């Protein structure tokens, strides 16, 4: 969620500060649009929300909603408030709402996105690729970036799935001569990472060990193709921003929103299921952030042109 908010702030191009809120029970059990005293809910590890109020506030996630609405009230509407994802309250309470298409949220101030907002730009990929190229120079081409998430509330990365994936990756190296740049996540789990390392030992493969700078952007920039697990809309969206073939590994589980997202991305030609082999295809990279940033600039310009003190 933080990455999506930062991505939009970077695209808009204004200086920005990140504030994280960690509200406590019982507040978090209430619908986000009806918290009477949001400040009383803040945990000690939360950033403070206080004046002076910004020109633009970008919030993301259900628990940020009460604080975004608070700033809008306290600033008397001077702050333009943009919420990413479904706020689970009337979207008209915001200046702009940016939900994914699978949320089926409509409104005059709603812009649906096909994929999640992301920080992928050609400049960022080129810079990261140059930084990590020496670490992967010994690997053959084609080079495949393998982005592995893990279990969450909707999906399970089971030992059986990781074993099958490890066997498929091993076969890619042995049968097709590819190089692998693998980046697991904290959710992947120590046992699953160990199984991957064991299967790929002695092969042209690098598995990130969480030491040093995160190579995620570098691997995406250097890769000829991408393999990504299905548990993260962000990871799939970021992979599809590269314009490179994106093969999706489907895990156990899912729900309506995830299923609709993956069906939409596949139907649009961005992704294909990973079935143990690499395929080649082309598509226009998925990127909704420019149209959202353009709308934000329109809102800011409109508000700047409004009189500060309406005539009597």
Task: Give the separation between CA 306 and CA 44, rounded to whole angstroms.
Answer: 38
Indicate if the pLDDT at residue 310 is higher than 60: no
Task: Give the separation between CA 55 and CA 281, rounded to whole angstroms.
Answer: 43
pLDDT digits (tens, 9 = 90+) for 183-232: 999 999 999 999 999 999 999 999 999 999 999 999 999 999 999 999 99
- Residue 305 has a pLDDT of 79
Contact 143, 223 (CB under 8 A): yes
Task: Give the separation between CA 140 and CA 127, rounded to whole angstroms.
Answer: 21
Indicate if the pLDDT at residue 293 is higher than 90: yes
Indicate if the pLDDT at residue 312 is higher than 50: no
Query: Omega before 52 cis (within 30°)?
Result: yes
Q: How far is CA 211 from CA 42, 183, 203, 285, in A?
A: 33, 11, 21, 30
Give the CATH architecture of domain 122-273: 3-Layer(aba) Sandwich (3.40)
- Residue 307 has a pLDDT of 66
Per the prediction, the chain carries an average pLDDT of 93
pTM above 0.95, yes or no: no
Residue ranges per domain, the chain? Answer: 2-117+290-304, 122-273
Over residues 99-113, the mean pLDDT reads 92
């Amino acid at each position: 969620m933080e990455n999506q908010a930062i991505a939009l702030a970077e695209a808009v191009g204004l200086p920005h500060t990140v504030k994280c809120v960690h509200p406590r029970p019982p507040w978090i059990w209430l619908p986000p649009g009806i918290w009477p005293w949001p400040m009383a809910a803040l945990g000690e590890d939360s950033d403070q929300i206080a004046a002076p109020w910004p020109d633009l506030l970008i919030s993301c996630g259900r628990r940020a909603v009460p604080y975004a609405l608070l700033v809008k009230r306290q600033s008397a509407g001077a702050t333009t408030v943009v919420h990413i994802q479904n706020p689970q309250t009337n979207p008209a309470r915001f200046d702009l709402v940016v939900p994914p298409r699978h949320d089926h949220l409509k409104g005059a101030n709603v812009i649906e996105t096909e994929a999640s907002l992301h920080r992928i730009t050609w400049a960022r990929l080129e810079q990261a690729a140059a930084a990590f190229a020496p670490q992967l120079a010994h690997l053959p081409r084609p080079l495949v970036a393998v982005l592995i998430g893990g279990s969450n509330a909707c999906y399970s990365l089971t030992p059986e799935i990781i074993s099958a994936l490890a066997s498929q990756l091993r076969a890619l190296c042995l049968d097709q001569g590819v190089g692998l740049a693998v980046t697991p996540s904290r959710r992947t789990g120590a046992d699953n990472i160990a199984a991957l390392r064991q299967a790929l030992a002695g092969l042209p493969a690098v598995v990130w060990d969480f030491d040093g700078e995160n190579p995620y952007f570098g691997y995406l920039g250097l890769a000829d193709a991408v393999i990504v697990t299905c548990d993260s809309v962000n990871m799939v969206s970021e992979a599809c921003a590269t314009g490179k073939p994106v093969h999706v590994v489907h895990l156990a589980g899912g729900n309506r929103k995830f299923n609709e997202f993956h069906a939409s991305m596949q139907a649009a030609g961005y992704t294909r299921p990973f079935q143990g082999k690499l395929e080649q295809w082309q598509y226009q990279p998925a990127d909704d952030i420019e149209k959202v940033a353009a709308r934000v600039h329109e809102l800011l310009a409109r508000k700047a042109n409004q009189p500060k003190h309406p005539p009597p």
